[in-house]
Chain A
Amino acid sequence: MPRIRVRNLAIALLAVCAVVATIARAAETRASLKKGTPDLKSAGPLAFGPDGILFIGDTKGAALFAIDTGDRAPAAEKRAALVKDLAGKVAAMLGTNAKQVAINDLAVNPLSGNIYLSVSRGRGPDALPALVRIHANGKLEEVSLENVPFSKADLPNPPGATERGRAESITDVAFADGRVFVAGLSNEEFSSRLIAIPFPFSSNGFDGAAIEIYHGAHGRFETKSPIRTFVTYRIQNQPYMLAAYQCTPLVKLPVADLKAGAHVKGTTIAELGNRNRPLDMIVYQKDGKDYLLMTNSSRGVMKIRTEGAGSAEGITTPVPGGGTKGLGYDTIASLKGVAQMDQLDERHAVLLVQADANGTIDLQTIELP
């Protein structure tokens, strides 16, 4: 019995140490942010990092912002949010009509279950950024960016005075293993640009060399196509990036290889069909198995079995007759018009859904298929 008590005590002490370490890391992370008003010029792709910190890609300002949302209260229950005509409601709050509003991305704060939207008010070059929070009860509110703890990482090669025409759009942002990955695409030179920025951001900047990713098509022709959307995923306990390209190869890349200036060749593990754009994806677990849920411009929502992603050697021969190859998938027929998504909790995801041909956008919560 005493031995059991000692063991219990040891377990309790370890648990306390783990909690203390987590709190200490969170405190260190938050200490790296300074209070002020971030000069956000546009609000694009979103990703949550540790401790309620939200990363916002700012295409126009060629920067990545980390903002402490202060939204750390765990939700007792992450309820299913449903907001009809979300774009219309956001437009009403911004004092305009839905045509003048673009919802650029959606992210769920894993701590609170609150949903965040990055929004542009206006469609022209003078469009202004806004950040909206949606509570589980469907209430929308402004996320004020005045006097909030934040830090900023300038992206390398920002358009200079002599580069009036060059701009770099940020196609996706993800946080993994202490680094923020930013995928981008220039409006001039053609390349797939992926940058890894260690977080907390260093005041000395970071090695801004882009990671060159080559997509070997059928083992013969290499190019540098732009990544459309990506997620991080652990295969055999090693972090990988799963990146989806136009028309619609799914490529795996070991995160450990993604170092500044590295030349990385991705392995194509699935070809999911042509005439299609992958729009967004999430990784989740159901009944002990891992799945990837991917929404597409013209091939609906795919539930992809990731089993075998680790051993897949890559597709090296063309797929004849319009078929698909690599990881298997099912198309979820009940989900149509899904533009964006994020995981709400272990069993649910929130979706931005185009509800009709007039561009009406609803926010829906679904049980993960």
Chain B
Amino acid sequence: MISAADIRTRFRERGFVVDDAYATGLEIMLALQKPLLLEGPAGVGKTESAKVLAEALQARLIRLQCYEGLDSMSALYEWNYPRQMLHARLSESSGSSLEQREAEIFSDAYLLKRPLLEALTQDQAPVLLIDEVDRADEAFEAYLLEVLAEWQVTIPELGTIRARHRPHVVLTSNRTRELSDALRRRCLYLWLPYPSLAQEIEILRARVPGVSEQLADRIAHLMQVLRGLPLQKAPGVAESLDWAMALMSLHREHLDARTLEQTLGCILKVHEDRAVVDEHRAALEPYLSDAPAALEAGGYGLATDFGIGTATPRP
């Protein structure tokens, strides 16, 4: 049994910061062997956390990406019809009995396992990530219920396949559509909010190697302000990581108005949101340093010291 504290350390080792509620959620998901439904705004690390969970448990990650029109054939299994037909034609004159030929045609060799069946037939319990389940339509959701409740799949030609080891199931949803109550009740539920200020600083320091304390602090503060604005697409953690990476690669150690202007594309993904940010510029000001523009003028300026310590020009 893995404790919540244990999960936190294992996630931490892999550069993923989780809070208590989340670690406890994962702990009881493993203990109760129930699926975990993660909801939250885009870019808070729902998918990423399932990947890290698989790594932490040293289990295989099987991913089912949901989309509109996803059907049971692409989620569960399908017979390889062309090969079956070919085999049927070729074995017509082989002299083997009908039963034999039938058993050959409907054997594992002609079964194309899709993610759900794949997850049920593993030797070691895998992590099954059912990503963006809200994108699949209601019919598929109902279908999923059966698999999640019984952990078995019935294939008419082969019989019932029962899970050898219950997979650790993580479902994620961006709430583009309301999920059914039936599905919700079969799952443990976790709402993943945007991280708090302290958490975000911790995440930045864990994920972006070499980011200075001051820069991480500034980025996190600005993100908190930006998420409070009436934006169409509020920036998530993914955006703040991207932004930190961008600033690092541009060798900007300070965040000033000009840098913000140049790198706004990392955080804002909708054109109209730029206007909103311009409108609320005053709210951002306190977190922008007013480094003299002259330093920035010559390309890299003095923001980097090229490894020789800060050079101070003599007066």
Asked if A and B are interacting partners, one says no
Residues on B facing A (Cβ under 8 Å): none
